[in-house]
Amino acid sequence: MESVLLPTLEPAADHGRIARTTVEPPAAAAIAAGADPIIQVRSVVRDFGAVRAVDGVDLTVHSGELFGLIGHNGAGKSTLFRMMLGLLAPSSGEIEIDGCRSSARNFRNVRRRIGFLPENVVLYDNLSALETLQFFARLKGVPANACAPLLERVGLEGCGRRRVREFSKGMRQRLGFAQAMLGDPRLLFLDEPTSGLDPEAIRHFYATLRELRADGVTVVLSSHILAEIQERVDRLAVIARGRVQAVGSVSELRDRADLPIRFEVRVATQHFAAIRDALGHLPVLSIEARGRHVAVQCRKDAKLAVIAALARLGDHIEDISVREPSLEDVFFGISE
Amino acid sequence: MMLEPGQITAIAGKEFRDRIRNRWVLAVALVFTAFALVIAYFGAAQQGTVGFASIEVTIASLVSLVIYLIPLIALILGFDAIVGERERGSLDLLLSMPITRLELLLGKYLGLAAALALSTVAGFGLVGMVLLTGFDFNALFHYAGFVLSSVLLGMSFLSMAVAVSVFAVDRTRASGLAIALWFFFVLVFDLLLLGALVATGGHAGGEIFPWLMLANPADVFRVLNVFSLDEVRSLYGLSTVFPDGLAAPWKLALVMVLWIAVPLGIAARRFGR
C-alpha cells in the first residue's frame, strides 16, 4: 500500500493526462522553486500514554502557501495543530514557526502573528459577538476598533450586539474565523474551518481565504473532506495514523497514487468472451461481468489501449463510460 | 519569565465582569447580608437573649458563619476556573493567544478574587453600617479587621480551588475534590485536632497544637478574629492553647497570605508544566 507512494515512482506517461482537468494553482510553481519555509516540522512524535497520536511527522510549509491537512477524524491533525501552536510539546522532534522553536520562551511573540481557529470553536456564550472579539483583541494587543470591520468581513454585520448563546453553529464558526483574523496575522491555522457552514458560507469563506492569500498570508487548514479543498489548496498532506502518508499538490498526489481507471461497458448481447479476447493481450487489472455490464479496470498508462481495443468491438458494445479515480479514491487509497 | 500585566488584567477583567453581569456578586453579597443580620440579631440566643449584642459577641457569631460559608463559596467559585475552560474546549484558543500560562492563571485568580472580595466587603459592609451606628472607633476597628480577614479567608480557599481546577481531569472530579477540601478544613480538621488532644489526655502535642492550627486557614481566621476580643477569648478557651507570641495579627495575616500564595504557586507549577 505504501509502496505506491514511494518517491521513486516516475511521473505518469503523457497520455495519462488527457482527461485531467485539475488546474495547478499558479503559486505552486513559485513555492516549489524554493520560497522561504515558515513552518518546519521535524521528526515530530507525540504520545498520549500508550497511544501514539503523531508518529514521526516531517512537514515544511512555505511562506504564502495555502496548505491543506487531510485526514480522518483522529488521524492526528488537531494534535499537530496544537503542537505547531506550542500548546502541546512534542514527545520528540521539533517544530519551528517563523524561525522560532515552538518550545522557546519567546514563542508568545510568534503567536502575535498567528491566527487560530480551533476545531469546533468554543466561545463564551455570555458575551456578545463584539465583546468576544474585543476580549481576544485585547489579548492580542489589537485596537478595539478593528473588531467591527472583521464582523462585517465574515458576514456577521448587524449581529455584533447579539449574545453568542443565540448563535447557530455556522455563526459561531464565522465569529471564530473573525477572531483568527484579528491583528492581520501572517499565519493562519484553521482546524476544520468549514464544519457547520452552509454551502454559501463555505464559498464566502474560501473567497476570504483567497484575499488573505493574495495579501501573502500563509494558511494551514485541515479537513476530512478532500473534495472541498482539492481545488483550493496549493499543496496538501494526507495524514493517517499519525503519519504523513503523502504530501504534494493534488495532481502530484493523483499521479503518485496511480489508482486504476475503471471502464463500465454495456454490451449489446452476451459478448463477454469477445471482450475478454479483445483485452486479453492488454495489461488490464480485472474484468468482471454482471449480466450485460462488464467492468474493466486498468492502469492509467493502459487507458488509451483499452479504449482502442473496445472501439474495435464496434457493434458488440452499446456504451462505454470511463471512471477516473476520484480524489476521494486517491485519499482513501493513500490513507488506508 | 516576564509577566505582562496587560494580559493578566484582560483575563481578570473578563472574569470579574462575568461575575458582575450574571449577578453572582450581588447574590453572594445579599446572602452575606441576610445571614449576617440574622446571626447578629439571634447570635446571643444561646445565652437567652435576642437582639443586637455587643460588637465582640456579634463578631464571634459572624466568625462561626463565615467559617462555614466563605470557604464553600470560594471553592464553588474557583473549582472550574481552568478545568472548566479545558472541558468546554475554550482553553486551547485562550492559550493560542500571546499569553503565558502563568498570566492566564493569575488573571483567573485575580478576577475571581476581586469578585469574591467585592461581595464580601459589600455584604458585610452593609451589615456593618446597621450594626455600627452607635459603636465606637474600637468596635469599627475590630469589625474592619473581621471583614478584612474574611476577604483573606476567601482568597486562601479560592487559591485552593484554583489549584483543584488545575489538577482535576474534569469538572465532576474537581467539584468532588473541592467539596472534600471543604469537609476536611471546615468540619474534620478541628475534630481530629481535638480528638488527638483528648485521646492523649492533653499531654502529647500540646506545644505543636497551635502550629497545627496554622495548617488550616479556617483556624487561622478564627484565631485572628477571636483572640483579639477579650470578651470571647475565654469563651473559646483559646488562651489556654494558643501562645500570645504566635497570635500577633500580623503573623497570622502572614500565614493567611502564605495560604494564598502556596496553593496558587503549586497550581502555577503544575499548569506551566
The answer to whether B92 contacts A109, with C-beta atoms less than 8 Å apart, is no
Q: Check whether B265 has a pLDDT greater than 70.
A: yes
What confidence score (pLDDT) does residue B47 get? 66
Q: Residue B73 above 70 pLDDT?
A: yes
Residue A115, SS3 per DSSP? strand
B99 vs A: CB within 8 A: yes
Q: Which of A82, A126, A136 sits opposite B97 (nearest CB)?
A: A136
Listed by number, the residues of chain B in 185-244 with a beta carbon closer than 8 Å to a beta carbon of chain A are none
* A chain contacts of residue B11, beta-carbon cutoff 8 Å: 139
Check if B88 contacts A (Cβ < 8 Å).
Answer: yes
List, for residues A188-238, the tens digit of each pLDDT value: 999 999 988 899 999 999 999 999 999 999 999 998 888 788 888 999 998
What pLDDT is attached to residue A29? Answer: 43
Can you identify the CATH homologous superfamily of domain A258-335? Answer: VC0802-like (3.30.2130.10)
Please spell the DSSP secondary structure of chain B, one letter per residue.
----HHHHHHHHHHHHHHHHHTTHHHHHHHHHHHHHHHHHHHTTGGGT--S---HHHHHHHHHHHHHHHHHHHHHHHHTTTTHHHHHHT-HHHHHTSS--HHHHHHHHHHHHHHHHHHHHHHHHHHHHHHHGGG--HHHHHHHHHHHHHHHHHHHHHHHHHHHHHHH-SSHHHHHHHHHHHHIIIIIIHHHHHHHHHHHTTTTTTTTTHHHHHHT-HHHHHHHHHHTT-HHHHHHHTHHHHS-GGGG-HHHHHHHHHHHHHHHHHHHHHHHH-
Probe site for chain B from A108, A123, A124, A127 (most B CB atoms < 10 A): A108
The verdict on B89 touching A (C-beta cutoff 8 Å) is yes
pLDDT of residue B225: 86
Where is average pLDDT lowest: A88-97, B98-107, B244-253? B244-253
Task: Work out the average pLDDT over A55-71.
Answer: 94
Q: Is the pLDDT of residue A320 over 90?
A: no
Over residues A48-77, the mean pLDDT reads 92
Mean pLDDT of all residues in B173-201? 90
Residues 48-107 of A with CB under 8 A from B: 82, 85, 87, 89, 105
Residue A12 is placed in which grid cell?
505518469
Whether A112 sits inside 8 A of B10 (CB atoms) is no
3-state secondary structure B23-60: CHHHHHHHHHHHHHHHHHHHCCHHHCCCCCCCHHHHHH
Query: What is the percent of chain A where pLDDT is above 90?
Result: 52
- Interface A–B counts its CB contacts (< 8 A) at 57
Write down the residue that cell numbers 487509497 correspond to.
A333
B7 touches chain A (CB under 8 A): yes
Its domain, for residue B170, covers: 5-272
B93-143 pLDDT, tens digit per residue, is 999 999 999 999 999 999 999 999 999 999 999 888 887 766 578 888 888
Q: What is the pLDDT of residues B146-174, one digit of tens each?
A: 999 999 999 999 999 999 999 999 999 99
- Given a cut of 70, whether residue A44 has pLDDT beyond it is yes
Taking CA atoms, what residue in A is nearest to B22? A126
The pLDDT assigned to B238 comes to 53
Task: Note whether B88 contacts A122, CB cutoff 8 Å.
Answer: yes
Residue A33 clears pLDDT 90, i.e. is over it: no
In the predicted model, what is the mean pLDDT of residues B76-97? 95
DSSP structure string for A186-197: SEEEESSTTTT-
pLDDT on residue B102? 95
- The per-residue pLDDT for A2 is 37
Provide the number of structural domains found in chain B: 1
**Does residue A18 have a pLDDT over 50?**
no
Give me the pLDDT at residue A36, please.
Answer: 86
Residues 111-140 of A with CB under 8 A from B: 111-112, 114, 116, 118, 120-124, 126, 135-136, 138-140
**pLDDT tens per residue across span B197-237:** 788 776 655 677 788 888 999 999 988 887 766 655 555 55
| Percent of chain B topping pLDDT 90 | 58
| Contact with chain A for residue B90, Cβ under 8 A | yes
Residue in chain B closest to A136 (alpha carbons) equals: B97
Sorted by where each begins, the domain ranges of chain A are 258-335
B-contacting residues in A 174-203 (Cβ below 8 Å) = 176, 179
pLDDT of residue B123: 95
For residues B60-84, average pLDDT: 94
Give the pLDDT band (50/70/90) at residue B239: low
Please say if the pLDDT value at position A28 is more than 50.
no
Q: Does A139 contact B1 at a Cβ distance shorter than 8 Å? A: no
Give the residue from chain B lying closest to A113, CA to CA: B98
pLDDT number for residue A26? 46
User: Is B87 part of the contact surface with chain A (CB cutoff 8 Å)?
Assistant: no
CB contact under 8 A, A139 and B98: yes
Q: What is the ipTM of this complex?
A: 0.89
B10 touching chain A per CB within 8 A: yes
Residue in this structure with the C-alpha cell 499531654, named with its chain if needed: B203
d(CA A240, CA A73): 9
pLDDT at B203: 63
Mean model confidence pLDDT for chain B:
88
Per-residue pLDDT, B202:
64
pLDDT in tens, A272-316: 777 777 777 888 888 888 878 888 888 888 888 888 888 888 777
Residue A25 has pLDDT above 90, yes or no: no
Q: Which residues on chain A are in Cβ contact (under 8 Å) with B97?
A: 111, 136, 139-140
Give residue for cell 473581621.
B146
Q: Which residue in chain B has the smallest CA separation from A189?
A: B96
Residues B213/B232, Cβ–Cβ less than 8 Å: no
Cα–Cα distance for residue pair B221/B58, rounded to 1 Å: 16
Nearest to B90 among A108, A111, A122 (CB): A122
**Which of residues A273 and A80 earns the better pLDDT score?**
A80
With beta carbons under 8 A apart, name residues in chain A contacting B273: 89
| Average pLDDT over every residue of A139-161 | 94
The H-or-E segment that residue A176 falls in is helix A169-180
